[in-house]
Structure 1
Amino acid sequence: METLYSNGIWMAEALQLKTRNYEDFWLIATHMGDPKAAFLLVFPLVFYLHRRTGIAIIWVATISEWLNLVFKWILFGERPYWWIGESRLFVKNRPQLQQFQSTCETGPGSPSGHAMVTAAVWWVVVSSLASFIHTRSGSKVLAAVPYLLYTVLLGVLGLSRIFILAHFPHQVIAGILAGLILGVFLNRTVPECRPLLFHVRTSMGLLLGTLIIHALLEKAGLNLSWSISLAKRWCSKPEWVRMDTTPFSSLTRDAGALLGLGLAQFWKPGGWTLPWVPKTLCLALSSMALYHISRFPLPTIPPVLFYTLFFLKYVVVPQVVMVMVPGTVHLLTAKAKQD
């Protein structure tokens, strides 16, 4: 593994040196590939275009990110930004590398969560888009364009993760392959119109199942907090180590979003039928609301309070997109027609 890791470090150095002028581009790319972007950016945009695909985004994002958490606990993957110091292989010939605010994630590195969730989520989007294009045009060439863009997207995201020292190349590749497989499979099992009890059971199953796995691994003598201590030790700036990048943050986000999806479908099964102009207004209002929700600061002490509030934050996300905003717009437009 040392050879694999070392080659990854030198690749990251070459990428940083040769593409330093595109730093902002790489940072934007890695930000867009953050798993939370699937909930806060991709979900509302896709939902107002096609309801079933929007619901699939939440479903695929939650399950793929949860599985990524379990894989990381089992595989114990290193991250480049701490492995450079821990390995002590570069004392005499230290690579010229720079860390960024997005670098200092606290979970293990394998497989890449950004690559895995993005590959799964965007497979749902591009396969739906390709099917729509083929149905309308009958052209297989045009229908292949979304898949080409999908490949470019994953390539850019993967390079961005290597550029900022968050992952080694093999971790990115593993994440993409796992995400692609999950995207294909999970897109066939979307819980559209499933009862609330299904979502409650699944959400609680993710929470309790993860806690059980965590307890069993800890009992087996594995220290699952090892990566957090390394992140704090080797991150360039202490403030870059954030609680919302910890494994339990991912867990509470997934469980909360899944429960929120069930509640949204329970409050208003089938949603509202809105014309394109009100849908555009819904998208704008939802995006503004989710922006402020995501930026809302949460207390980090005690940790249980933080994770509870983080869970509730993502319970709210589907409510805003699927119930609150479209319900309000529907009510206002209906009154306008009556007047």
Structure 2
Amino acid sequence: METVYTHGIWVAEILQERTSHLEKFWLTVTLLGDPKAAFLLVFPCTYFISKRTGLAIVWVAAISEWLNLVFKWMLFGERPFWWIGESRLYDKTNQPKVHQFPSTCETGPGSPSGHAMVTAAVWWVVVSSLGSFIYSRTHSWVISGLPYVLYVTLLAAVGISRIFILAHFPHQVIAGWLTGLLLVVTLKSTVPEGRPLLFFLSFSTGLMLSALILNVALQQLGVDIYWSISLAKKWCSRAEWIRLDTAPFSSLTRDCGALVGLGLAQYWKPGGWSLPWAPRALSLAVSSMGLYHVNRLPLPVKPQGLFYSLFFVKFVLVPQIVMVFVPGLVHLLTHKKKKD
């Protein structure tokens, strides 16, 4: 693996050197590829166009990120920003000419890339649905294939951005793409539309317990499950770039919270609100603003149990805002307006 890692650093060095003028672009792309963007951005945008596709986004995003966490705990992948120092292959005379960014210092293991895996899974749901819709209207394979071209472009951009900022090695990005695609092919036909609340509560509990059992089992085997957090803190350029919301348990609580929220939303309003296109657009705008402020809510990082509990609640609220609260309010206002 030493050769693979060394070549990965070389690729990152070339990217930073030759595309330094695109730094802001790569940083923006890596934010769009963040797994939480699937819940906060892709989900509301798709839900108000196609409810089933919106539900599929949450379903696929949650399971793919949970599976990514399991893979990371078992594969022990290094990250470039700490491997450079830990490898002891570089001294002052041959240090690679690379630098870190605010998004670099993630604290979980590196393989496979979560950004690449979740992006590959979530956006396949979007482009396959869009491609099918376009083909039903045009009956043209060429035109309906355009979303897939954009899909490949997006995957490439997200992958390059992760290598550029030293968050992942190239082989970790490729592994993320492949696992994400394989997973979504399996999951897309299993969208839990109309399932009872008990299904979501049970499934979310199952994901949480299975991850905790794996965590305990690895520790019983003598594995330091927190090894990556220690290395991230040791080699990150700035202490403030280490964020608790990038820790492995944060992704776990996000996924479980989103699934519980999805179940609650379908429980409160089975089938969702039926709105014309104009109220849907208004609902999307208001939902987006609401999710923006929910995401920016500062959470106490100590004690960590409180942080994870509130982080869970935050993502329980996401489907409620998009599927129940905002569309219900818009329906109430537009319905009254029609009556008047």
Q: TM-score range by the shorter chain?
A: over 0.9
Quote the residue 1:61 is aligned against. Answer: 61
Quote the residue 2:121 is aligned against. Answer: 120
Quote the residue 2:133 is aligned against. Answer: 132
Q: 1:73: how far off?
A: 0.1
Quote the residue 1:166 is aligned against. Answer: 167
Quote the residue 1:193 is aligned against. Answer: 194
Letter in 1 for 2:81: Y
Q: 1:184: how far off?
A: 1.4
Letter in 2 for 1:12: A
Q: 1:208: how far off?
A: 1.0
Distance 2:111 2:95 in 1: 24
Structure 2 residues without counterparts, runs of 5 or longer = none
Letter in 1 for 2:10: W
Distance 1:316 1:10 in 2: 43
Quote the residue 1:279 is aligned against. Answer: 280
Distance 2:87 2:217 in 1: 29
Q: Deviations over 1:74-112 (max 9, x none)?
A: 000000000000001011310110100000000000000
Quote the residue 1:29 is aligned against. Answer: 29
TM-score, normalised relative to structure 1: 1.00
Q: 1:44: how far off?
A: 0.2
Letter in 1 for 2:191: V
Letter in 1 for 2:319: P
Distance 1:191 1:118 in 2: 20
Quote the residue 2:263 is aligned against. Answer: 262
Quote the residue 1:292 is aligned against. Answer: 293
Letter in 2 for 1:215: V
Distance 1:129 1:267 in 2: 29
Secondary structure of 1:188's aligned partner: helix
Quote the residue 1:156 is aligned against. Answer: 157
Once the two structures are aligned, what percentage of the paired residues are identical? Answer: 67
Instruction: Decide whether the 8 Å contact of 1:124 with 1:184 is kept in 2.
Output: no
Distance 1:321 1:6 in 2: 45
Instruction: Decide whether the 8 Å contact of 1:109 with 1:167 is kept in 2.
Output: yes
Quote the residue 2:145 is aligned against. Answer: 144
Q: Deviations over 1:264-288 (max 9, x none)?
A: 0000000111111100000000000
Bigger mean CA deviation after superposition, 292-301 or 206-215: 206-215
Q: 1:302: how far off?
A: 0.3
Give the count of matched residue pairs: 339
Quote the residue 1:16 is aligned against. Answer: 16
Letter in 2 for 1:40: L
Distance 2:184 2:283 in 1: 27
Distance 1:177 1:186 in 2: 14
Q: 1:219: how far off?
A: 0.4
Instruction: Decide whether the 8 Å contact of 1:115 with 1:176 is kept in 2.
Output: yes
Quote the residue 2:234 is aligned against. Answer: 233
Secondary structure of 1:109's aligned partner: coil
Instruction: Decide whether the 8 Å contact of 1:126 with 1:147 is kept in 2.
Output: yes
Distance 2:178 2:209 in 1: 27
Secondary structure of 1:278's aligned partner: helix
Quote the residue 1:314 is aligned against. Answer: 315
Quote the residue 1:70 is aligned against. Answer: 70
Instruction: Decide whether the 8 Å contact of 1:38 with 1:58 is kept in 2.
Output: yes
Distance 2:96 2:162 in 1: 17
Distance 1:203 1:16 in 2: 40
Q: 1:185: how far off?
A: 1.2
Distance 1:88 1:21 in 2: 30
Distance 2:155 2:146 in 1: 14
Q: Deviations over 1:111-168 (max 9, x none)?
A: 0000000000000000000000000100011111111110000001100000000000
Runs of 4+ in 1 over 4 A off after TM superposition: none
Asked whether 1:202 is paired with 2:225, we answer no
Q: 1:182: how far off?
A: 1.0
Q: Deviations over 1:274-319 (max 9, x none)?
A: 1111000000000000000000000000000000000000000000
Letter in 1 for 2:209: L
Distance 1:292 1:120 in 2: 26
Structure 1 residues without counterparts, runs of 5 or longer = none
Quote the residue 1:180 is aligned against. Answer: 181
Q: Deviations over 1:185-231 (max 9, x none)?
A: 11111000011110000011111111111001110111010000000
Quote the residue 1:81 is aligned against. Answer: 81
Q: 1:338: how far off?
A: 1.0
Distance 1:272 1:316 in 2: 17
Quote the residue 2:47 is aligned against. Answer: 47
Q: 1:183: how far off?
A: 1.4
Aligned-pair RMSD on alpha carbons?
0.5
Distance 2:191 2:51 in 1: 12
Distance 1:188 1:322 in 2: 21
TM-score, normalised relative to structure 2: 0.99
Instruction: Decide whether the 8 Å contact of 1:8 with 1:169 is kept in 2.
Output: yes
